[in-house]
A and B are shown apart, each in its own frame.
Chain A
Amino acid sequence: MGERPDPGDRSYRRALGGVKPGGVSRGVARIAAALLTLLLASVLVFLALNVLPGDPAAVMLGTEARPDTLAALRRQMGLDLPMPLRWWQWLTGLARGELGTSHTYGVLVAELVATRAVVSVPLALLALLVAIGLGIPAGLFAATRHRRTGDLATMAVALVGLSVPAFWIGILLVLLFAIGLRWLPAGGFPGWDAGILPGIAALILPAVALGLPQAAVLARVTRTAIVEIMRLDFVRTARSFGLTRTQALRRHALPNALPPIVTVLGLQFSFLLAGAVIVENVFYLPGLGRLVVQSVGGRDLPTLACLVMLLVTAVVVVNLAVDLLLLRLDPRLRQRG
């Protein structure tokens, strides 16, 4: 690009604002706010779970239970202790990193959740990959063909992707790839110790089912953001300096369109981690979402408390990461206020 003025020039960047002390303190404030959110959430979680009607011991003993057996099981589970004492035990346990033992399974909650997380986290990441890989290019394509056939066609496909529920996509994928073509398993998860490939193979269909609707969202957000920015003066200025439309898009419009896209991505990751339960059911995957539903049904309070806290933490951490990333991406956020 030799003779053209370099937009990446240092003085040009400095004019937009470099890292200033204000940026650091903003970051610290965001982290403090995140920690406070977690603390408040922990109190709410315990209170909410303990006003939940239903007795875990009754669920375990069923319709033939006798009062003396129920009382014995409640003692064994520690449910006969007064609530403030149980709350204190739970809180001090959390502080020591002890999450307790599952009422239902009788194994350590930490182990139980860990075996589910190794399914759910890769699944969420893969789904996100599908969403990014399809959504952003589709959005860019639509934006560059704004109001033309390519744009309308892409947005029509995105609308369909948005309207069709993920579990239905899942069932169709199973019909085609598992029952029809027999390329991939219909569901289940063989475990990572069976090898990386079988593990990934088991996650492909669910990841596509989960990722497609998210890709549609992302395509629309990307398109809107780019179209808005391409209209702005600085893009026109860049074009007047002699940059082609594509160069202006890549160098100026895309970086400025990133904040809304990253914000949406953050929300999507949190959703994919916790909200995959329906797709987990369709593919009978042992993920976190199904564990949440199971532990609600069985009133497995130690597991439930741990899961809710974990998901809250994931949402808070992802939000924090997005905030901090935006601070880096968007100098205006550092300068204002």
Chain B
Amino acid sequence: MKLARLLATSLLVTALADAAVAKDTVTLGQVLEPPHLDPTAGAAAAIDEIVYANVFEGLTRIAADGSVQPQLATSWEVSPDGLAWTFHLKQGVTFHDGTGFDSTDVKFSLERALAEDSVNAQKGLFEPIAAVETPDPATVVIRLKRPTGLLPWNLAWGDAVIVAPESAETNRTRPVGTGPFQFTEWRQGDRLVLSRREGADVALAQVTFRFIADPAAATAALMAEDVDGYLNFPAPEALPQFEADPRFAVVIGTTEGETLLAINNRRQPLDDVRVRRAIGHAIDRQALIDGAMMGYGQPIGSHFSPSHPAYVDLTSRSAHDPELARRLLAEAGVGDLKLTIKLPPPSYARRSGEIIQAQLAEVGIQAELVPVEWAQWLEQVFANKDYDLTIVSHTEPLDIGIYARDDYYFNYRNPDFQALMARIEGTADEAERNTLYGQAQEMLAADAVNGFLFELPKQGVWNARLEGMWANAPIQATDLTGVRWAE
């Protein structure tokens, strides 16, 4: 008891001392811990959620509204044939270890991502690049194999950040970038600390990420004010509790995560478009969102984010209609259909699985749920394409291009769609590109490639006095450069 009182007093004293000076530190909870900290060598979103814009910077960046903005490049222009892009670089920039930044670092970073032994998870972003030239330290010319209108957007990804040859190999454990925050400490399994580098124009002096995945523990950590917020809170069912508490702001936003009931397009009888359409019509999206997601999440009718300007609402193409679904199945000559749904661990997948199983049963499809671990999912479903149906969210922004890949796990092969994607890639004009994106969405909806369910919501909960946190997640990042405590 004595010990407890002593502890209580010392904690109280620390708390009072904290309150006396203006607060310039923040502690954020994060569900997943990154495996390492090099965004150019791994797909884990948790890496970008710590280092993007904070520690590492690219030539361009994606802003809170989803637009492409200059970062290490101040401006750029493209040659009339669309094959040469000239980027003008910011001057006087240094990496955290003091080495200078210039065009050779850009050349090094891009060539490293393109190299034979590259382990960049998004190597496809760099594939159109033919050569990188450095006419002077402040200028980079990127020559392309074919016109690629999306180049500035591609270069804004976390996978395309600029690293220095001196530190590239050790970025996994000691990231060295050009951003306003530098890496300070990482206690694996517990926390990661970034601190403001000298002279950086950001309000926060120190940022601590704590890795708390368990929903009950995450709730307790927020309630006890051990953490100041979650950019994306893991348990939608706890949100009403925070909404009712004036200490917290609950901000529901959008992500780029299209959640799919993915269909193996080559497995019989799923290779018949009527059967796939029947599955689409069997699904009641709103009931699914209400039941599995506590009402958060926006219905989608194709593989595209509703927050993108090119979005077309195609949900009516696969509106809930069990009668039509049964008719389509009968037309296709399919009776007594038995399928399996492989479910990876995220709660959206496991919960959606149970509801979809019930909805499919209403049209006479018997679905067996098979929960799998993430590693098993990647091996069985993603690599070996050994599945009927699976539920997964594709969280990369603007990733409709995966449907043009021959070897992708949907087993969807449509030369028309591939040609359309090639046209989009070569189109530099944004309005024209958006029209083509609309056609691509239509094509996927018409082919009923997958069951398109909902856009994963971003469930932000943070201290009501914390300003500048991103409401939406146009890219998976925790950009802290604009975050501050209200006076």
Contact = CB atoms under 8 A, between A and B. Distances in A.
Given A55-B383, A63-B43, A188-B190, A282 B210 contact: no
A231 B487 CA distance: 74
B221 A107 contact: no
B261 to A, nearest CB: 16
A55 B374 CA distance: 10
Interface stretch (A123-131, A249-257, A283-291): A283-291
A283 B6 CA distance: 22
B118 A299 contact: no
Interface stretch (B144-152, B212-220, B353-361): B212-220
Contacts of A107: 173, 188
A186 B226 contact: yes
A189 interface: yes
Interface residues of A, number: 58
Contacts of A106: 35-36, 172-173
Contacts of B116: 68, 72
A59 B122 contact: no
B373 A297 contact: yes
Contact of B188 (A59, A63, A115): A115
B118 A60 contact: no
Nearest to A168: B216
A64 interface: yes
A174 B374 CA distance: 31
Interface residues of B, number: 55
Interface string A149-185: 0000000000000000000000100110011011111
Interface stretch (B7-15, B98-106, B271-279, B449-457): B7-15
Contacts of B226: 178, 185-188
Contact of B191 (A54, A58, A185, A188): A188
Interface centre among A76, A285, A290 (most CB of B within 10 A): A290
Contact of A58 (B6, B35, B44, B375): B375
Contacts of A285: 190
Interface string A63-99: 1111111001101100000000000000000000000
B121 to A, nearest CB: 5
Contacts of B210: 188, 284
Interface in B175-225: 187-191, 210-214, 216-217, 220-221, 223-224
A112 interface: yes
B379 interface: yes
Contact of B392 (A55, A63, A189, A281): A63
B42 to A, nearest CB: 5
B391 to A, nearest CB: 13
A65 B212 contact: no
Contacts of B36: 104-106
A64 B43 contact: yes
Contact of B214 (A59, A281, A291): A281
B341 to A, nearest CB: 17
Contact of A189 (B190, B213, B373): B190
Contact of A290 (B117, B189, B402): B189
B394 interface: yes
Interface in B382-398: 382-383, 392, 394, 396
B370 interface: no
A63 B45 CA distance: 11
Interface in B3-31: 4, 6-8, 10-11
Given A54-B378, A69-B121, A171 B190 contact: no
Given A69-B123, A174-B220, A179-B220, A55 B375 contact: yes
B217 A284 contact: yes
B399 A58 contact: no
Contact of B375 (A75, A116, A298): A298
B7 A197 contact: yes
Interface in B222-244: 223-224, 226
A182 B211 contact: no
A175 B217 CA distance: 11
Contact of A65 (B8, B121, B173): B121
Interface of A: 53-56, 58-69, 72-73, 75-76, 104-107, 112, 115-116, 171, 174-175, 178-179, 181-189, 191, 197, 201, 281-287, 290-291, 294, 296-299
- A-B complex: 8 closest residue pairs judged by Cβ atoms: A62-B43, A286-B189, A54-B375, A186-B224, A286-B190, A58-B378, A104-B35, A106-B172
